[in-house]
Amino acid sequence: DARPSILPSLLQCDFGNLQGEVERLAAAGTQVLHLDVMDGHFVPNLSFGMPIVEGLRRHTDMPLDVHLMISDPVAYAKPMVDAGADLLTFHVEAMRGKDAAETKGRIENAVGQIRDLGVGVGLAINPSTPMNELGGHVALVDLVLVMSVEAGFGGQQFNPVSLTRIQEIRAAFPNVMIEIDGGIKASNIGAARQAGCDLFVVGSAITDRSDYGEAIVELNEAMLA
Protein backbone atom coordinates (compact mmCIF):
# COMPACT_ATOMS: atom_id res chain seq x y z
CA ASP A 1 0.00 0.00 0.00
CA ALA A 2 1.58 3.24 -1.16
CA ARG A 3 -0.70 5.54 0.80
CA PRO A 4 0.93 7.58 3.54
CA SER A 5 0.16 6.08 6.87
CA ILE A 6 0.49 6.62 10.56
CA LEU A 7 2.23 3.89 12.49
CA PRO A 8 1.56 4.00 16.23
CA SER A 9 4.56 3.23 18.44
CA LEU A 10 3.67 1.19 21.50
CA LEU A 11 6.68 2.48 23.46
CA GLN A 12 4.60 4.56 25.86
CA CYS A 13 1.42 2.51 25.95
CA ASP A 14 0.09 0.57 28.96
CA PHE A 15 2.27 -2.54 28.92
CA GLY A 16 0.08 -3.97 31.65
CA ASN A 17 -2.68 -4.25 29.05
CA LEU A 18 -0.95 -4.82 25.75
CA GLN A 19 -3.81 -6.77 24.21
CA GLY A 20 -6.23 -3.97 25.07
CA GLU A 21 -3.89 -1.35 23.65
CA VAL A 22 -3.61 -3.22 20.35
CA GLU A 23 -7.40 -3.60 20.19
CA ARG A 24 -7.87 0.15 20.79
CA LEU A 25 -5.32 1.00 18.09
CA ALA A 26 -6.91 -1.43 15.63
CA ALA A 27 -10.35 0.06 16.34
CA ALA A 28 -8.84 3.51 15.67
CA GLY A 29 -7.89 2.39 12.16
CA THR A 30 -4.25 1.42 12.66
CA GLN A 31 -2.90 -0.78 9.89
CA VAL A 32 0.74 -1.27 10.94
CA LEU A 33 2.32 -1.30 14.42
CA HIS A 34 5.77 0.17 15.11
CA LEU A 35 7.70 -1.73 17.79
CA ASP A 36 10.69 -0.09 19.48
CA VAL A 37 13.26 -2.65 20.60
CA MET A 38 16.05 -1.24 22.81
CA ASP A 39 18.95 -3.13 24.36
CA GLY A 40 20.30 -0.74 27.01
CA HIS A 41 23.59 -0.70 25.08
CA PHE A 42 23.07 0.89 21.67
CA VAL A 43 20.71 3.27 23.47
CA PRO A 44 20.63 3.96 27.22
CA ASN A 45 17.15 2.49 27.64
CA LEU A 46 15.60 -0.97 27.69
CA SER A 47 12.21 -1.71 26.19
CA PHE A 48 11.26 -5.21 25.15
CA GLY A 49 12.34 -8.13 23.00
CA MET A 50 11.05 -11.25 21.28
CA PRO A 51 8.48 -12.42 23.87
CA ILE A 52 6.50 -9.19 23.50
CA VAL A 53 6.73 -9.27 19.70
CA GLU A 54 5.54 -12.88 19.77
CA GLY A 55 2.70 -12.03 22.16
CA LEU A 56 1.56 -9.17 19.95
CA ARG A 57 1.73 -11.45 16.92
CA ARG A 58 -0.82 -13.75 18.54
CA HIS A 59 -3.26 -10.86 19.04
CA THR A 60 -3.15 -9.10 15.68
CA ASP A 61 -2.71 -9.69 11.97
CA MET A 62 -1.29 -6.18 11.49
CA PRO A 63 2.20 -6.03 10.00
CA LEU A 64 4.82 -5.47 12.70
CA ASP A 65 7.41 -2.82 11.82
CA VAL A 66 10.27 -3.56 14.22
CA HIS A 67 12.75 -0.75 14.94
CA LEU A 68 15.92 -2.34 16.31
CA MET A 69 17.80 0.09 18.54
CA ILE A 70 20.33 -2.57 19.41
CA SER A 71 24.06 -3.03 18.93
CA ASP A 72 23.87 -6.41 17.21
CA PRO A 73 20.85 -6.51 14.88
CA VAL A 74 22.21 -9.49 12.95
CA ALA A 75 22.22 -11.69 16.07
CA TYR A 76 18.54 -10.96 16.75
CA ALA A 77 17.21 -10.87 13.19
CA LYS A 78 16.09 -14.51 13.01
CA PRO A 79 14.63 -14.58 16.54
CA MET A 80 12.66 -11.42 15.68
CA VAL A 81 11.35 -12.86 12.41
CA ASP A 82 10.44 -16.11 14.19
CA ALA A 83 8.58 -13.97 16.74
CA GLY A 84 6.54 -12.38 13.94
CA ALA A 85 8.35 -9.28 12.68
CA ASP A 86 7.46 -8.30 9.10
CA LEU A 87 10.10 -5.62 8.62
CA LEU A 88 13.37 -5.10 10.51
CA THR A 89 15.03 -1.70 10.64
CA PHE A 90 18.52 -1.34 12.07
CA HIS A 91 20.73 1.70 12.65
CA VAL A 92 23.74 2.73 10.57
CA GLU A 93 25.37 3.83 13.86
CA ALA A 94 25.37 0.21 15.05
CA MET A 95 27.42 -0.85 12.01
CA ARG A 96 30.46 1.41 12.32
CA GLY A 97 33.68 -0.42 11.57
CA LYS A 98 37.33 0.62 11.70
CA ASP A 99 37.03 2.23 8.28
CA ALA A 100 34.48 2.92 5.55
CA ALA A 101 35.10 -0.43 3.84
CA GLU A 102 34.45 -2.40 7.02
CA THR A 103 31.32 -0.37 7.75
CA LYS A 104 30.04 -0.97 4.23
CA GLY A 105 30.67 -4.70 4.58
CA ARG A 106 28.78 -4.82 7.87
CA ILE A 107 25.78 -3.00 6.46
CA GLU A 108 25.68 -5.20 3.37
CA ASN A 109 25.96 -8.33 5.49
CA ALA A 110 23.14 -7.23 7.80
CA VAL A 111 20.88 -6.34 4.85
CA GLY A 112 21.63 -9.71 3.21
CA GLN A 113 20.95 -11.70 6.39
CA ILE A 114 17.63 -9.94 6.97
CA ARG A 115 16.57 -10.36 3.33
CA ASP A 116 17.36 -14.06 3.50
CA LEU A 117 14.80 -14.32 6.31
CA GLY A 118 12.12 -13.13 3.88
CA VAL A 119 11.18 -9.84 5.55
CA GLY A 120 11.56 -6.18 4.62
CA VAL A 121 14.74 -4.30 5.51
CA GLY A 122 15.05 -0.76 6.79
CA LEU A 123 18.04 1.42 7.60
CA ALA A 124 17.79 4.13 10.28
CA ILE A 125 19.85 7.25 10.91
CA ASN A 126 19.90 9.48 13.99
CA PRO A 127 19.75 13.28 13.60
CA SER A 128 23.30 13.67 14.94
CA THR A 129 24.79 11.26 12.40
CA PRO A 130 26.17 12.75 9.18
CA MET A 131 24.17 11.82 6.10
CA ASN A 132 27.23 10.38 4.38
CA GLU A 133 26.92 7.38 6.73
CA LEU A 134 23.62 6.57 5.01
CA GLY A 135 24.67 7.46 1.50
CA GLY A 136 25.53 4.53 -0.70
CA HIS A 137 23.28 2.15 1.22
CA VAL A 138 19.81 3.48 0.44
CA ALA A 139 19.51 1.49 -2.78
CA LEU A 140 19.99 -1.76 -0.81
CA VAL A 141 16.97 -1.37 1.44
CA ASP A 142 13.18 -1.15 1.27
CA LEU A 143 12.87 1.65 3.77
CA VAL A 144 14.90 4.52 5.20
CA LEU A 145 14.02 5.58 8.74
CA VAL A 146 14.91 9.23 9.25
CA MET A 147 14.96 9.78 12.99
CA SER A 148 13.60 13.14 14.12
CA VAL A 149 14.90 12.59 17.68
CA GLU A 150 17.96 10.72 18.91
CA ALA A 151 16.83 7.11 19.27
CA GLY A 152 16.27 5.95 22.82
CA PHE A 153 13.22 7.57 24.39
CA GLY A 154 9.67 8.52 23.57
CA GLY A 155 8.29 11.99 24.16
CA GLN A 156 11.32 13.97 22.88
CA GLN A 157 11.19 17.13 20.81
CA PHE A 158 11.06 16.98 17.01
CA ASN A 159 14.30 17.95 15.23
CA PRO A 160 13.55 19.72 11.91
CA VAL A 161 16.86 18.60 10.35
CA SER A 162 14.84 15.46 9.53
CA LEU A 163 12.77 17.42 6.99
CA THR A 164 15.80 18.48 4.94
CA ARG A 165 17.07 14.92 5.08
CA ILE A 166 13.80 13.51 3.80
CA GLN A 167 13.80 15.98 0.90
CA GLU A 168 17.36 14.99 0.04
CA ILE A 169 16.62 11.25 0.11
CA ARG A 170 13.34 11.66 -1.79
CA ALA A 171 15.07 13.67 -4.53
CA ALA A 172 17.75 11.02 -5.02
CA PHE A 173 15.51 7.94 -4.53
CA PRO A 174 11.97 8.52 -5.82
CA ASN A 175 10.78 5.01 -4.91
CA VAL A 176 12.31 4.19 -1.52
CA MET A 177 9.89 4.16 1.41
CA ILE A 178 10.74 6.93 3.85
CA GLU A 179 9.67 6.73 7.48
CA ILE A 180 10.01 9.43 10.12
CA ASP A 181 10.10 8.72 13.86
CA GLY A 182 10.27 10.93 16.93
CA GLY A 183 8.23 13.86 18.20
CA ILE A 184 5.66 13.66 15.40
CA LYS A 185 2.45 15.54 16.12
CA ALA A 186 -0.27 17.42 14.26
CA SER A 187 1.97 20.52 14.14
CA ASN A 188 4.79 18.90 12.12
CA ILE A 189 3.31 15.89 10.30
CA GLY A 190 2.20 18.01 7.33
CA ALA A 191 5.73 19.32 6.79
CA ALA A 192 7.08 15.76 6.91
CA ARG A 193 4.54 14.70 4.28
CA GLN A 194 5.47 17.65 2.07
CA ALA A 195 9.14 16.76 2.38
CA GLY A 196 8.32 13.37 0.83
CA CYS A 197 7.76 11.09 3.79
CA ASP A 198 5.50 8.01 3.44
CA LEU A 199 5.28 6.53 6.93
CA PHE A 200 4.86 8.49 10.15
CA VAL A 201 5.65 6.85 13.48
CA VAL A 202 3.69 8.42 16.32
CA GLY A 203 4.10 7.49 19.97
CA SER A 204 3.07 9.94 22.66
CA ALA A 205 0.81 12.06 20.43
CA ILE A 206 -1.45 9.00 20.26
CA THR A 207 -0.89 7.03 23.47
CA ASP A 208 -0.95 10.09 25.76
CA ARG A 209 -4.47 10.77 24.52
CA SER A 210 -7.58 9.16 25.95
CA ASP A 211 -9.20 8.75 22.51
CA TYR A 212 -6.79 7.11 20.05
CA GLY A 213 -9.30 7.38 17.20
CA GLU A 214 -9.60 11.13 17.64
CA ALA A 215 -5.81 11.51 17.79
CA ILE A 216 -5.35 9.54 14.55
CA VAL A 217 -8.11 11.47 12.75
CA GLU A 218 -6.43 14.76 13.75
CA LEU A 219 -3.02 13.53 12.62
CA ASN A 220 -4.39 12.36 9.27
CA GLU A 221 -6.12 15.70 8.71
CA ALA A 222 -2.95 17.61 9.60
CA MET A 223 -0.86 15.36 7.34
CA LEU A 224 -3.04 15.91 4.29
CA ALA A 225 -3.86 19.58 4.94
Instruction: Please list, in sequence order, all residues whose beta carbon lies within 8 angstroms of the beta carbon of residue 20, skipping any fewer than 6 positions away.
Output: 14
Q: Which is nearer to Zn ion, 86 or 100 (CB)?
A: 86
Q: Is 203 annotated as a binding residue?
A: yes
CB of 9 to ligand DX5, least distance (A): 4
**Candidate list 39, 65, 181, 198, residue with the active-site label:** 181
122 is a site residue for ligand DX5 (CB under 6 A) = no
CB of 23 to ligand DX5, least distance (A): 20
120 is a site residue for ligand DX5 (CB under 6 A) = no
Q: How many CB atoms lie within 10 A of CB 17?
A: 11
Q: Which is nearer to ligand DX5, 77 or 206 (CB)?
A: 206
- Which region among 57-65, 91-99, 149-157, 213-221 touches ligand DX5 (by CB under 6 A)? 149-157
Q: Is 1 annotated as a binding residue?
A: no
152 is a site residue for ligand DX5 (CB under 6 A) = yes
Q: Which is nearer to Zn ion, 93 or 181 (CB)?
A: 181
| Rounded Cα distance, 121 and 224, in Å | 27
Cα–Cα distances (Å) from 173 to 56, 101, 180, 215, in that order, read 33, 23, 16, 31
182 is a site residue for ligand DX5 (CB under 6 A) = yes
Interacting partner of 21 out of Zn ion, ligand DX5, none (Cβ under 5 to 8 A depending on kind): none
Cα–Cα distances (Å) from 42 to 11, 90, 96, 159, 179, in that order, read 17, 11, 12, 20, 20
Residues 77-106 that bind ligand DX5 (CB under 6 A): none
Residue among 159, 107, 166 nearest 137 (CA)? 107
User: Treating both helix axes as pointing N-terminal to C-terminal, what angle do 18-27 and 50-59 enclose, rounded to 10 degrees?
Assistant: 50
Residue 36: active-site member: yes
| Rounded Cα distance, 27 and 47, in Å | 25
| Rounded Cα distance, 219 and 94, in Å | 31
The residues annotated with a catalytic role in the active site are: 36, 181
Cite the annotated binding site for substrate by residue number: 9, 67, 152-155, 181-183, 203-204
